[in-house]
Amino acid sequence: MTPLRVVSGSANPRLAAAVAELLDVEPPGCALERFPDGEIRPIVGHVGGQDVYVVQPTSPPVNDNVLELLLLLDACRRSRAARVTAVVPYFGYARQDRRTRPGQALGLRVVAEAIAGAGADRLVVIEPHTAALESVSPIPVETLTAIPLLAERISPAHGGNAVIVAPDAGAVRLAERYAALTGDPVALVRKHRESETRVTAIELLGTVDHRAAVIVDDMISTGATLEAAVDILRYRAADIVVAAGHGPLTAAAERLRRLGVRRVVVTDTVAHEAVTPPFEVCSVAPLLAEAIASMHNDRPLHELFVRT
Ligand code: R5P
């Protein structure tokens, strides 16, 4: 059988190492040369004839991490890997899935096509912001969900007395998938984004009734969406916790800390340094390892972890 190999970019080597350990394969090295003018040159080592999984979320610094991913894929192809899968747990540029003003680019499509052009045979993502990724990608996309892991981590604490809150209309499907696992009702915050960093809540649809509110979103960027949701829930909920698929928390951490939310559970699709309460990290390594093992053995992916 073709040997399985995990290759790590520099965006999240800890996650790549955890995945390799669960798969019981060689730990992924991560060799990256930097030229004095800022160019990068990653080196993948020997991958000839292997079934290679390149783990590289395109998290901040997004542009550097996208380019490194493309170079890694090209290096694998030129080293004659038997099959190359880009494992991009957090897919940057997914919010650019349509043009909102004349003169803009379609960033999602540009990045998806670049990944295929660089040499990936297949793409694996977790909770991408848009379902359009699969339609614009020239290569097959496996879309995984972290919702079961997040629900398992959070919900036992509320004993079936919670409301799952979508902090905007785009998060309703996510909240419904979470609620399908826990049996809780769903509520929705209608939001208005005034700027990149400022969001206001217009109204709450659904009843919270002093139960625990579990706010579920695909990602936290500046924290503006969550701040607006917490504002409207503050006097309606007995407790507020947050579950997010991706947490590039660097910019948002202080903002969320000030809100006084009891728990903010994010996954490690994006690398985190030391995390202190209220933040908690729920690792997606088991999810990726399970998916990679299935793909390597040409088995269907576990239905619980595939986003529909
Ligand atoms: C928006 O459509 C997304 O689902 C997230 O709610 C949003 O990107 C979060 O960004 P921020 O934390 O900056 O409000």
Does 60 score more than 80 pLDDT?
Answer: yes
Q: Which residues lie closer than 8 Å to 273 by C-beta, 6 or more apart?
A: none
- Percent of the chain past pLDDT 90, that is, above it, reads 88
One domain for residues 41 and 107:
yes
pLDDT category at 29 given cuts 50, 70, 90 is: confident
One domain for residues 18 and 71:
yes
Shortest-distance atom of ligand 1 to CA 196:
13
19 vs 57: CA distance, rounded Å: 14
Helix (H, G, I), strand (E, B) or coil at 171: helix
> What is the bridge-based pairing of β-strands 186-195 and 239-246?
unpaired
Average pLDDT of span 82-96 = 97
12 vs 22: CA distance, rounded Å: 16
CATH number of the domain at 51, please. Answer: 3.40.50.2020
One domain for residues 176 and 289:
no
Catalytic-residue membership of 191:
yes
Our mutation pick for probing the ligand 1 site, out of 192, 217, 231, counting the most ligand atoms within 8 A of Cβ, is: 217
Average pLDDT of span 193-198 = 93
- Asked whether 249 and 272 are in contact (CB, 8 A), the reply is yes
One domain for residues 184 and 277:
yes
Residue 105 phi/psi, 5-degree rounding, is -100, 170
225 vs 204: CA distance, rounded Å: 13
- Percent of the chain past pLDDT 70, that is, above it, reads 99
Domain that holds residue 84: 4-146+285-304
Average pLDDT of span 143-158 = 91
CA quadruple 300, 302, 303, 305: dihedral sign: negative
Average pLDDT of span 152-170 = 90
Does 51 score more than 90 pLDDT?
Answer: yes
In this structure, the number of other CB atoms found within 10 A of the CB of residue 231 comes to 14
The reported pLDDT for the residue numbered 250 is 66
Centre of ligand 1 from the C-alpha of residue 217, in Å = 8
48 vs 78: CA distance, rounded Å: 9
One domain for residues 117 and 157:
no
Q: In this structure, what DSSP letter does residue 269 have? A: S
One domain for residues 29 and 115:
yes
pLDDT category at 305 given cuts 50, 70, 90 is: confident
One domain for residues 165 and 276:
yes
Helix (H, G, I), strand (E, B) or coil at 263: strand
Selected catalytic residue, list 122, 158, 191, 211: 191
One domain for residues 223 and 107:
no
Average pLDDT, the chain: 94
Rg, C-alpha atoms of the chain: 20
Q: What is the distance in angstroms between the CA of the first residue and the CA of the last residue of the chain?
A: 31
Centre of ligand 1 from the C-alpha of residue 307, in Å = 19
Does 263 score more than 90 pLDDT?
Answer: yes
218 vs 127: CA distance, rounded Å: 6
The reported pLDDT for the residue numbered 302 is 86
User: What phi-psi label fits residue 233: left (phi over 0), alpha (psi between -120 and 50 degrees) or beta?
Assistant: alpha
Q: State how many domains the chain has.
A: 2
One domain for residues 10 and 141:
yes
155 vs 18: CA distance, rounded Å: 25
- Asked whether 285 and 15 are in contact (CB, 8 A), the reply is yes
Centre of ligand 1 from the C-alpha of residue 193, in Å = 9
Q: Which residue has the higher pLDDT, 143 or 254?
A: 143
- Asked whether 164 and 186 are in contact (CB, 8 A), the reply is yes
One domain for residues 177 and 125:
no
Does 248 score more than 90 pLDDT?
Answer: no
Evaluate: CB of 174 within 6 angstroms of ligand 1. no
One domain for residues 235 and 157:
yes
One domain for residues 138 and 163:
no
Evaluate: CB of 256 within 6 angstroms of ligand 1. no
- Asked whether 206 and 186 are in contact (CB, 8 A), the reply is yes
**Alpha carbon separation from 122 to 51, 135, 223, 254 (Å, rounded):** 11, 13, 32, 37
Least confident piece of the model among 31-40, 181-190, 251-260:
251-260
Residue 124, H or E segment: strand 122-126
Closest to 245 (Cα-Cα) out of 163, 142, 147, 156 = 147
Which residues, in sequence order, are bridge partners of residue 212? 162, 239
